[in-house]
Structure 1
């Protein structure tokens, strides 16, 4: 039996490869694959965004080795950064509720 954290890690890996396996290098996300992943898996994150260049900006920020693709390590950085931002938001909300 796996733990919830192990399940979460497995889910991250599976989601990444579900999208990276569609074109080109199956171990990296192309810009199109990244856009599809963001649109399908992070709908709340993108729903309020009006910037047509958002995916380009995210790709640029994540692509640390500048190969125009996002590998798993670069993808995990995005997930970690968004998770930290969500945690910070919830901590701030809790502080407001205490007062």
Structure 2
């Protein structure tokens, strides 16, 4: 059975969080190091160290020094919104392999 594009996208978002969050400490949160590695490997165009520090302070809504899944998914939602706004007038093209 083939999964829909949206099902696959949701699975990738969840699995990406889990892949990085289980590396150290609490497997239900991203430590500062885990978040930094996730961003460097998955979204390398995001910016420099200053941009990372600012993003971390915004994402860590409860100020516990880590990013839980709810905080991560709010970031994903904002990133999706920005991508939608950027590509709103572009032709609809499915990702490769679809």
Aligned equivalents of 2:77, 2:28: Cα separation in 1: 19
Q: Secondary structure at the match of 1:26?
A: coil
Deviation at 1:73, TM superposition (A): 0.8
Aligned residues: 89
Which residue of structure 1 aligns with residue 70 of structure 2? Answer: 73
Unpaired runs of at least 5, structure 2:
91-98
Q: Secondary structure at the match of 1:53?
A: helix
Which residue of structure 2 aligns with residue 63 of structure 1? Answer: 60
Deviation at 1:65, TM superposition (A): 1.1
Q: Which residue, out of 36, 40, 51, partners 1:54?
A: 51
Q: Secondary structure at the match of 1:65?
A: coil
Deviation at 1:52, TM superposition (A): 2.4
Unpaired runs of at least 5, structure 1:
none
Aligned equivalents of 1:29, 1:86: Cα separation in 2: 23
Q: Which runs of 4+ in 1 moved over 6 A?
A: none
Please give the root-mean-square deviation of Cα atoms over the aligned residues, in Å: 1.5
Q: Secondary structure at the match of 2:76?
A: helix
- TM norm structure 1: 0.82
1:84 aligns with 2:81: yes
Deviation at 1:3, TM superposition (A): 1.7
